[in-house]
Amino acid sequence: MKKLLLLLLLFSSGATGFGQEGYRYALDLNKVENDRLRVVLETPAITSKTTVYAFPKIIPGTYSISDYGKFIEDLKAFDGQGKPLKVQRMNDNQWKISKANKLKKITYLVDDIFDTNKEHNVYPMAATNIEEKKNIVVNTPGFFGYFDGINKLPVEVSFEKPSGFYASTPLNPVTTSATTDVFKVGNIDELYDSPFMYTIPDTATVKVGNCNVLVSVYSPNKVLHAKEIAGWLGNLLNAAKSYLGGKLPADKYAFLYYFNPTTNKHAFKPGLGGALEHNTSSFYYLPEMPASQLKNTIVDVSSHEFFHIITPLTISSREVKEFNYNQAVLSKHLWLYEGSTEYSSHLVQVKYSLNSVPEFLEKLSDKITASRTQYNDSLSFTGMSKLAATTYANQYNNVYQKGALISACLDILLLHLSEGNYGLKNLTYDLGVRYGKKRYFNDEELF
């Protein structure tokens, strides 16, 4: 009985998965060092003599090489007695650590991508921002690395935060106070799927059916406000709920908006902006302009990102569900992931009278013109998809044009064959039931 109780105690103490059984990151947002922050990692137990600590080369949803390791400096490793271990930088994103079986702690500095002088291809909506006492954008792939081959362990992240700062994020903290937040997720994939924006809060919450929707805004000149944007999104989200059968596929969703003044010179190409989808959130980098000029853009882009809940976040191939952060191994089904999302985001607006039929048809007409005049109209869409991060990077944005048109044609064909009873919405619903968030299809088999 004593042995059994001991085993039960050992099992229950390990059931949390933290300490030596997972990653434990700490980040003090009060200690900004020349637009940099220091991360401290208490490492999981490593049994091999050497290990590789890495940052993502590419992340889901971007279809572009990011090389987040370029912005990591002064990486050091220590054993349990605080003695340094040998660290060798292998390339932009990987560090080899010797005597890894003694490893207990890693520290490093994270540089601010928004204001960097380094050449890079990181999209602004996937980048990091470190603006002392104003705004800190923690797009997690830019802050937190992982051990190669060991990314399924649980993760804990603790933040020390400035007075008055609030964490806008899709996650719920396990503990929170005026000075500290602690979050836990199941693995590195979930961590990379969870952005944070720390700032003096301008937030609003909308209840849509079963889902609590957070709208968080950082507008330095107070040009745009969360309450106003939440009002714009309320009708859209209620329409989405009806379109999806009366229930949203998440109990919490976060829209995180960073509005950049046009006078700011960030480290991105002029005019570059947009949004990045996550399972239960989306992050937006948009120009800070009067609400009257941005309303339609915000609603259209927010609708698109929200509908990513269906594709590829519910329906996707192995390449998406078991993502390779070290190299670009992409799926051939961008026509589904981005194309059907773009089409559905406009369809829901006309179906529930947020846009008129002529407005909807004009958008499709514009996509026809753009796809034929701005892109290679004879390029196979599946072929483009597989090489979207490299060979055909300049063709990628056609997913929002021809990709949407492919879905429009499929919708029309299905409705025709079923005499109006079964369309693209029904198809994606059935595929969602078949696969769900935890299963994938094989890339070659979908057709």
In the predicted model, is pLDDT for residue 295 greater than 60?
Answer: yes
Tell which wins on pLDDT, 270 or 15. Answer: 270
- pTM, 2 dp: 0.92
In the predicted model, is pLDDT for residue 37 greater than 60?
Answer: yes
Residues 323/189, Cβ–Cβ less than 8 Å: yes
Name which of 37, 62, 72 is nearest 285 in CA terms. Answer: 62
Q: Supply 220's token pair.
A: 């330095």
Residues 327/387, Cβ–Cβ less than 8 Å: no
Q: Give tens-digit pLDDT for 134-186.
A: 999 999 999 999 999 999 999 999 999 999 999 999 999 999 999 999 999 99
- Confidence (pLDDT) at 72: 98
Q: How many CA atoms lie within 13 A of 36 on its CB side?
A: 14
In the predicted model, is pLDDT for residue 407 greater than 80?
Answer: yes
Per-residue pLDDT, averaged over 299-306, amounts to 94
Name which of 403, 369, 438 is nearest 63 in CA terms. Answer: 403
> Do strands 94-98 and 50-54 pair parallel, antiparallel, or not at all (unpaired)?
antiparallel
* Run of H or E residues at 53: strand 50-54
Q: Give tens-digit pLDDT for 420-433.
A: 999 999 999 999 88
Per-residue pLDDT, averaged over 49-56, amounts to 98
- Confidence (pLDDT) at 81: 97
In the predicted model, is pLDDT for residue 16 greater than 50?
Answer: no
Residues 199/226, Cβ–Cβ less than 8 Å: no
- Confidence (pLDDT) at 182: 98
Burial class of residue 137 in the structure, from the number of CB atoms within 10 Å of its CB (0-12 exposed, 13-18 middle, 19+ buried): buried
Per-residue pLDDT, averaged over 13-39, amounts to 79
> Left if phi > 0, otherwise alpha if psi is -120 to 50, otherwise beta: which for 209?
left
Residues 6+ apart with CB under 8 A from 404: 339, 340, 342, 343, 346, 364, 367
Per-residue pLDDT, averaged over 9-26, amounts to 58
In the predicted model, is pLDDT for residue 316 greater than 80?
Answer: yes
DSSP, collapsed to helix, strand or coil, labels residue 130 as strand
Q: Give tens-digit pLDDT for 87-129.
A: 999 999 999 999 999 999 999 999 999 999 999 999 999 999 9
Phi, psi of 441 (to 5 degrees): -105, 160
Q: Give tens-digit pLDDT for 371-391.
A: 999 999 999 999 999 999 999
Flag the least confident range among 93-102, 215-224, 302-311, 361-370.
302-311
- Confidence (pLDDT) at 20: 54
Residues 244/204, Cβ–Cβ less than 8 Å: no
- Confidence (pLDDT) at 310: 87
Give the Å distances, CA to CA, from 97 to 20, 21, 54, 82.
17, 19, 11, 15
Phi, psi of 130 (to 5 degrees): -130, 90
Q: Give tens-digit pLDDT for 246-271.
A: 888 888 999 999 999 988 889 998 88
Residue-wise DSSP of 366-409: HHHHHHHHSS-TTS-HHHHHHTTTTTTGGGGGGGGTHHHHHHHH
Structural domains of the chain, ranges and CATH numbers in brackets: 19-198 (2.60.40.3650), 202-309 (1.10.390.10), 311-447 (1.10.390.10)
Average pLDDT, the chain: 93
